[in-house]
Amino acid sequence: MTAAAATLVLVPLNAPAAHAAARADSSYSASLSTAISHIPVAAEDRTGYERTKFTIWVDADGNGCDTRDEVLIAEATQAPTVGSSCSLNGGEWYSSYDGVTTTDASDFDIDHLVPLAEAWDSGASAWTAQHREDYANDLGDDRTLAAVSASSNRSKGDRDPAEWLPADDDCAYVEHWVAVKIRWGLTQDSAEKAAISDQAASCGNPTITVSVVSE
């Protein structure tokens, strides 16, 4: 690997981050193809997985808006009015997976781009409960969570790119998938690597830059 291919730069922390922002200790930058090659290949193991092993939708900063609310506010194409108890009124959202738009936030799910079950299979089973909570509520990188139509999210389920890709924006999806795997130190299985490598070949090999989280 050459210095031009990838860099890993240590970044000092000046203050502790909120749990939902996660603790990012270093910065990683590489081309998409190089980043794919840097994700360790390992067989998946779902032994012991339960969705409840990941605590979701916490209000890490205590402002009354939980993670779901924060993502909806951040990703609105027209900003909603935020009322008491973080009720969202008005606003508009666009689902990058299938091109669906809505003015009703309840129509949309918040998708873990790398699903919780996939994360478990790929290394999260060995994490502490707090680290899994940090992952499930990661607001520190907008590629981890996405507001998308409920139908597209449920069509995807817990499948990786070897089994499912969105109808729209498949290059962005693969780029984000790789970024999340690098950010959280997750592995990939051989079929997954083949699928994302095949898709990446038509995506122009952009640079992937991400803050890497440590436990």
Rounded-to-integer distance, Cα 119 and Cα 26, Å: 20
The tokens describing 84, both together, are 């008491």
Per the CB < 8 A criterion, the answer to whether 166 and 98 are in contact is yes
For the stretch 160-196, pLDDT in tens is 999 999 998 899 999 999 999 999 999 999 999 999 9
pTM value? 0.89
Residue 71: alpha-carbon gap to chain centroid = 12
H helix or E strand, kind and range, residue 166: none
Residue 215 confidence class, pLDDT cut points 50, 70, 90: confident
For the stretch 51-81, pLDDT in tens is 999 999 999 999 999 999 999 999 999 999 9
Q: Which of 55, 50, 8, 1 is nearest to 29 (CA)?
A: 8
**What pLDDT is attached to residue 65?**
98
For the stretch 89-123, pLDDT in tens is 999 999 999 999 999 999 999 999 999 999 999 99
Q: What's the Cα-to-Cα distance from 73 to each of 81, 96, 102, 156, rounded to whole Å?
A: 9, 16, 14, 23
Please, which residues bridge with residue 212 across strands?
26
Q: Which stretches of the chain are DSSP H helices?
A: 32-38, 67-75, 116-121, 129-136, 150-156, 170-183, 190-200
Other C-beta atoms lying within 10 Å of the C-beta of residue 204: 10
Q: Which of 159, 144, 160 is nearest to 193 (CA)?
A: 160
The tokens describing 166, both together, are 């969105």
